[in-house]
Structure 1
């Protein structure tokens, strides 16, 4: 028998090797278009990042080892041009010599794989734009990095490969920007899980744009001595960003050209159709790997699986059926996948909520938060698990997990249950290996089963974050059953705080004519509250799935734009740059915005180990230590709860303590806090109502006296930054600063002689402002605006619009208007008219007052 295999790597090479083990006397030939026959495709990003330091370790077999060990002929740099099924021949071409010939076969195996998508975007073939699919592309990227020393990389597409490349290029010291057309990264998982990935990427200073695409690549002019000029990338939103290199990770599609031209049946997905024995529409041709479509075991609809694991399984089945007759069916893949994204691990199996909805399958979903192992054993890490199931039968449809440790074994356990059409009951009954360093007696998989069982039996009813976002509070009452301290750190708008330990004694405060939605940090205490309420006569009660933790991740800002082109204000009130705006003059991501250029004074701090504690544990542990500490003493706390980073900042702001340092590494969040002096620190009460002190010191006022463009920019940058931090901001415009508030199209107004004279001298509106230095008769201001546009910095006019949209108060001084001859009609409609009392009232409510 003569077996001809087209394509190597996971599918083709494994099939050929299995055929040899089953048939010692057959003639076996592998035809490979590239130069490598068997290599670790999934390891390519880690070689680029330097995690895998030796290139040779990527290669499993060589053509020589195949011949020597398996007596298989491997023809590399050889392309299959066409198939003639009626003659059982393949037209081949040796790419280096150009020689063509016809090769016969008894059985042909197609393993052509998939090809990267390269959309017809103008400039997409420019130098410095790469795809990553095989060794050849990997070598090209590696050489480019070594020869050109790029500083900024843009990755188009945020699937598994895109995020792995983001991590590895970041590891090499590049500024990394991701552009993704969808509303989230990693489209195989649902939004709630992706939202946590977004926040982790933000913590690593990865810039990314969501709901955006690319419309053009434009080469930049090369500078003297520059190895690569880089390029400007125009996004669908109209933004422009610069890059020294681009990685295309938009997706792949099956290579079906050869099969299609041979007359083989192509499925609805574009993959090669095969039967259960991996046989194509031609009895003598089999196919496998990324190029085939096969029914999903859950939906029974055709799908393509771009994963190495299923390809290897298909290869073994395919070889068995070829050599021994069609007897071993392939059962399909449920697409179990896992990826490392910096410090976290993300995994999925089965169907997502998006897919179930698309297929019209009714389902229930729950989100649970657990620890990787027993919380009392050191280094327990947070884990989020989303489970999808049928409420009537309990059948598990899919699961997604995000965490720092133990994600792989939990996703494998659930995948095994799904493959056997397992149910919620199987999750509960699962027997696992337990010891404190590895798990808990109630494993996260068990917890998911318990919660799902509560829903199936009617003991609990879940509602999801998007169902209560912006809900009608005349009909729905949100109840936060966490402690007052926890609620003070952040809660859902409109919620009332009834701590679980007080709920039984405060049932009279619970509305009886509304739908009740109870929530806590992760859902456990809310379930207790739900049971109390439902057994106390309240029937219309729901538990917020995943608790406040999931809600907070989902509703906050997801994207991370323009982080390499903005200034930040450090805690010492000095302005530093997060990164130079020009990638070609910067040296790497180095310090994050949380790291000041100069080290803070070192004082030996008290140590608090909160690793393994879930919210509110880390904050309560910090408060306990703060209460014991002396004023000015420092506490360093290490926690693993992802929410601690945000909580500790809010807590310090609220209590008057100072957050000196905050960093995250491998899932550990370290905060250095300095205790405030007693008279500066408002007490943290556990009683009902707002916390004393939180109403004050949340205002910022700026007196804008100048009509210089640069000073106007500074005032708007500070105002917008303060507003984004939650402060109530008042800008008080006086004398020359009134020019900033003038309308572009000025109305005709009656003025006296001096008013007209001031009108001639003052700038007509923001477009007429000059620079305080090097104005050069207005040329300097024009150059400044051009420079701002080139670097993606918003115009003064846009900053002013953003300030108004953010609720910044614009107050014009009445006395200055009278003196300068400025009429109300000349000013923007949003401007308030006030006097010194308006300014003093605003200034008295805050602790920030600037004069610009």
Structure 2
């Protein structure tokens, strides 16, 4: 039997080798249009970055060695340009451009995928590359060797994009990642991707999220990357990592069936619509084991598995392919990110009921040196506990855990199987309760009703008029930052202070990572409180998911691109939305008398408490250096310094450890910002008159355009200006309903302060503005948000007027008088409108 395989990478080479091991008599021809076969395409970014120094190490086999070992007719630079399935022949083009025909008895298509390269203006400019094969790698390697690469732009925040970002950073470039979505790493949920965002920002990588590229322009020796909103960045090199699509050109021309997902349709035995033709790898689509729907899966592991199955089926077996759950892993600087199965967002899209839980555990026993936090999120059926998906992010032990979780998912196991796994335990490798077992225990508590979870998205928009936010961390932890309007009752004081809590309101309990919140939940529910929920993943998950994205530009910091949900609050004053990322590659003070404190292995609040205890023994001017493996410690330390007057000297993060240097501060007298110093602008939007709202946004946009920090504080009637156009149903008391009937439902219903004429004046104003090409109120409002203007709604006004958080724009944050006063103190213009 004569078997021809089209494509010599991953699945194609595996199929050929497997056939030969089973049958010495088969005639095997392997056709590859490129120069190389069986190479490590997943290692290409690391060769470009110099981590893999020798190019030859990328090649598992050469065409010559593979051909000799497996007696395969390997023909490189032979491109199949047509399949005649009726005659069972192929038309093949050599490198010399001449063509010939070859017949087959059985055919295997393993053409892989091709990079997406949209038809954008300037995309063919010098210095813009895609990375898919060895030829691409050689072109990029030559370019970075011949040119001085100071700045690099990676378009796309997927696996390859982030691996390239790391390796370009390794070459010394300042790297920007541009991603159309609101997160990097699409296979995982936003709350877990946010941990990756933190790592990227800590390494000085610029993140431009929710930005679509409109065009490219060559400016001298640089490339201008122009976004659809008109903004742009300059770069010396651009890597396009927008995505890939199945290479189905041959299959379509041969009239093989293409599936709804865009890949070659195959049956359970990996046969195409022609029984003599099989297909494997990135080019095919196959049903997902959980959803049952066809999907595309661009991973080497499944491609190799398919190659083995097809080889056996070609020789007479009938082995079905079980499908892939998409288990994947990537290194992002010091962080490891992995996923298997379906995340919450995919389950929601598929209409599959699910529950999720997030846990943060140590990678191994905390008392053994080097323990770092490992975050796991799992999704599962709310009734049976069937495990649907898992995501893991951490610095050590991620690969071991995701493989365990993937096995349970693929075997259609449940969260109960996670609790029954028998883990090898020794302090250097794990804890007596492994992170996977803990994830199972927490999920079991949720299904059994021992704990009702609440998620970060819910708390981001919760109205404190209807609920109480209960922070059960210590007082010292609370002082470093909490949620707006949260009440602090430390866990160990809760039993004695339960009388302070209302029984007729929802109580959302939270702590650092969720454990103390669970304990508080159990105490309250067993003492008559039946409206209690525990924040899944604790404050660590909330902080990561709602943290602003900060752009670092050669030492300069800009405001976040997108306004975020309620920020954490320090000492009753809301923290400014823009926070400088951790400093990296800094030189620590070489002082002989510096006090060094090791807080490695301690979970929050351990590191911050140990730091405070040491700082209390110092005199002004003395310094400490503290090392912690708690991922949130660097942020906590910066916040603590801001609120206590101590000086943060350096921050370094490497290998999951944060090293912080702090100098004991001296109490200072209050300093008033003069008109010569202050650059901020604040507006109190008290009115809901259309003309006054227009004036407010015109002024705010003008100030923001000059790079100034602008805040608009919406109070009383001004809340009507930032209401959603389409609002969800919200339960209100009688007074809230009355206010709702009397107040404008959105900005479209606002009237003029004069000459309103029963609403006709406002309509005339909008008509004239439209005729003269003047932006509408809603357009000006959107521009303000794009320009980084901060929108704060007055919590007291919302309570009085019965306005729920869900009725306001997503970008609006909630604050009180202290929040406004903090902004006003740092501004030189304050307007009341």
User: For this structure pair, what is the TM-score category when the shorter chain's length is used for normalisation?
Assistant: 0.7 to 0.9
Give the C-alpha shift of residue 561 in structure 1.
3.2
Could you report, residue by residue, the CA deviation over 1:666-718 in whole angstroms, capped at 9, with x for unpaired residues?
211001122345xx39xxxxxxxxxxxxxx95x750232xxxxxxxxx853xx
- Match of 2:21? 21
Other-structure match for 1:84? 84
1:103 aligns with 2:132: no
What residue is the counterpart of 1:153 in the other structure?
Answer: 152
Q: Summarize deviations over 1:763-804 as a string: whole Å, max 9, x none.
A: xx99xxxxxxxxxxxxxxxxxxxxxxxxxxx98662376435
| Secondary structure in 2 matching 1:628 | coil
Deviations 1:58-109 (A, max 9, x none): 0011111022211111111111011111111001010x21110110011101
Q: CA deviation at 1:599?
A: 7.2
- Output one character per residue of 1:640-688: Cα deviation in whole Å (capped at 9) or x when no partner: 11111111112123233322221111211001122345xx39xxxxxxx
Q: Is the 8 A contact 2:202 2:582 kept in 1?
A: no
1:265 is aligned to 2:254 = no
SS of structure 2 residue aligned to 1:82: strand
Match 1:561 to one of 537, 548, 551: 551
Give 2:409's match in structure 1, choosing from 405, 415, 418.
418
Alpha-carbon distance between aligned partners in 2 of 1:317 and 1:355, rounded to the nearest angstrom: 28
Match of 1:112 in 2: 111
Secondary structure of the residue aligned to 2:29 is strand
Do the aligned partners of 2:203 and 2:584 also contact (CA within 8 Å) in 1?
Answer: no
Q: Tell me the equivalent position of 1:57.
A: 57
CA contact (8 A) 2:224 2:232 kept: yes
Distance in 1 (alpha carbons) for counterparts of 2:225 and 2:359: 40
Q: Secondary structure at the match of 1:98?
A: coil
Correspondence for 2:8: 8
Instruction: State the distance in 2 between where 1:217 and 1:70 align.
Output: 47
TM-score w.r.t. the length of structure 1 is: 0.78
- The answer (yes or no) to whether the contact 2:514–2:538 under 8 Å persists in 1 is yes
Distance 1:597 1:316, change over 3 A: closer
Give, in whole Å, the separation in 2 of the partners of 1:394 and 1:194. 24
Q: Does 1:231 align with 2:223?
A: yes
User: How many aligned residue pairs are there?
Assistant: 691
Give how far 1:565 is off: 7.4
The structural deviation recorded for 1:231 is 1.5
TM-superposed deviation, 1:633: 2.7
**Matching residue of 2:720:** none
Alignment RMSD (CA, Å): 2.7
Q: In the alignment, is the contact (CA less than 8 A) between 1:289 and 1:310 conserved in 2?
A: yes
SS in 2 for 1:358: helix
On the 8 A contact 1:352/1:399 being kept in 2, the answer is yes
Give the Cα–Cα distance (whole angstroms) in 2 for the partners of residues 121 and 496 of structure 1: 52
1:436 CA drift (Å): 0.4
Mapped partners of 2:257, 2:826: distance in 1: 73
Change (3 A) 1:640 1:598: closer
In structure 1, distance between residues paired with 2:242 and 2:76: 28
Match of 2:492 in 1: 501
539, 547, 554: which one pairs with 1:548? 539
Could you tell me which residue of structure 2 aligns to residue 485 of structure 1?
476
Alpha-carbon separation, structure 1, partners of 2:436 and 2:627: 27
Task: For residue 625 of structure 1, report the CA deviation from its aligned partner.
Answer: 1.8
State which of 233, 236, 259 in structure 2 corresponds to 1:241: 233
1:594 to partner: Cα distance: 3.1
Q: How many Å separate the matches in 2 of 1:340 and 1:67?
A: 34
Counterpart Cα distance in 1 of 2:377 and 2:66: 44
Please name the residue that 2:196 is paired with.
197
Q: Counterpart of 1:549 in 2: which secondary structure?
A: helix
Partner of 1:583: none
Q: Which residue of structure 2 lines up, in the alignment, with residue 757 of structure 1?
A: none
User: Are 1:617 and 2:609 matched, yes or no?
Assistant: no
Q: Which residue of 1 aligns with 2:528?
A: 537
* Corresponding residue to 2:431 among 422, 440, 445: 440
Going from structure 1 to structure 2, the CA distance change for 1:597 and 1:180 (only over 3 Å counts) comes to: closer
SS of the counterpart of 2:3? strand
Deviations along 1:453-496, whole A, 9 cap, x unmatched?
11111110001011121312121111011111111111111211
Deviations 1:195-220 (A, max 9, x none): 11111111111011111111111111
**For structure 1, which runs of at least 5 residues remain unmatched after alignment?**
222-228, 570-590, 682-695, 705-713, 730-743, 746-764, 767-793, 808-829, 831-841
Question: 2:202 touches 2:584 (CA, 8 Å); kept in 1?
Answer: no
Query: Which digits, 9 at most, give the CA deviation of each residue in 1:203-262, with x for residues without a partner?
Result: 1110111111111111113xxxxxxx1221110121011111110000000011101111
Q: Is the 8 A contact 2:704 2:710 kept in 1?
A: no
* Change in CA separation of 1:340 and 1:17 when aligned onto 2, cut-off 3 Å: same
Would you say the 8 A contact 2:584–2:653 is kept in 1? no
Per-residue displacement from partner, 1:10-53 (whole Å, max 9, x unpaired)?
A: 01011011111111121111110111011001000000011100
Matching residue of 2:642: 653
Equivalent positions of 1:154-553 (< 5 A) are 154-221=153-220, 229-323=221-315, 325-553=316-544
Q: State the partner residue of 2:782.
A: none
Structure 2 partner of 1:38: 38
Is contact 1:462–1:542 with CA below 8 Å preserved after alignment?
Answer: yes
Query: Residues 205 and 552 of structure 2 are in contact (CA less than 8 Å); yes or no, is this contact kept in structure 1?
Result: no
Deviations, residues 721-746 of structure 1 (Å, cap 9, x unaligned): xx9xxxx99xxxxxxxxxxxxxx99x
- Looking at structure 1, the residues matched to 236 and 649 of structure 2 have their Cα atoms a distance apart, in angstroms, of 35
SS class of match (2:440): helix
Counterpart in the other structure of 1:690:
none
CA offsets 1:521-544 (integer angstroms, 9 cap, x no match): 111111111111111111111001
SS in 2 for 1:279: coil
Change (3 A) 1:182 1:800: closer
* Structure 1 CA distance for aligned equivalents of residues 225 and 660 of structure 2: 38
Q: In the alignment, what sits opposite 2:710?
A: 803
1-structure distance, mates of 2:588, 2:255: 69
Distance change in 2, residues 1:337/1:661 (3 Å): same
Shift of 1:560: 3.2
Query: How many Å separate the matches in 1 of 2:268 and 2:582?
Result: 55
SS in 2 for 1:701: coil
CA gap 1:568/1:454 in 2 versus in 1, 3 angstroms:
closer
2:625 aligned residue: 636
Give SS of 1:216's match: strand
- What secondary structure is seen at the aligned counterpart in 2 of 1:39? coil
Residues 796 and 500 (structure 1 numbering): CA distance in 2 closer, same or farther, change over 3 Å? closer
Task: Say if 1:804 and 1:464 are closer, same or farther in 2 by CA, change over 3 A.
Answer: closer
Structure 2 vs 1, CA of residues 548 and 608 (structure 1 numbering), >3 Å: closer, same or farther?
Answer: same
| Greater Rg by CA | 1
CA distance in structure 2 between the aligned counterparts of 1:493 and 1:291, rounded to whole angstroms: 50
**CA contact 1:700–1:849 (8 Å) conserved in 2:** no
Q: Which runs of 5+ in 2 are unaligned?
A: 560-579, 685-693, 715-788, 790-820
Mapped to 2, the partners of 1:33 and 1:275 lie a distance apart of 27
1:411/1:567 Cα in 2 relative to 1: closer, same or farther (>3 Å)? closer
Contact 1:206 1:560 in 2 (8 A): no
Per-residue CA deviation, residues 304-352 of structure 1 (Å, 9 max, x unaligned), is 11000000111111101101x1421110000000000011101000001
Task: Please give the secondary structure, in 1, of the residue aligned with 2:674.
Answer: strand
Q: 1:172 to 1:270 in 2, by over 3 A?
A: same
3-state secondary structure, aligned to 1:80: strand
Match of 1:732 in 2: none
In 2: Cα distance, 1:476 partner to 1:505 partner: 21
Counterpart secondary structure, 1:612: coil
Give distance in 2, aligned partners of 1:849 and 1:462: 44
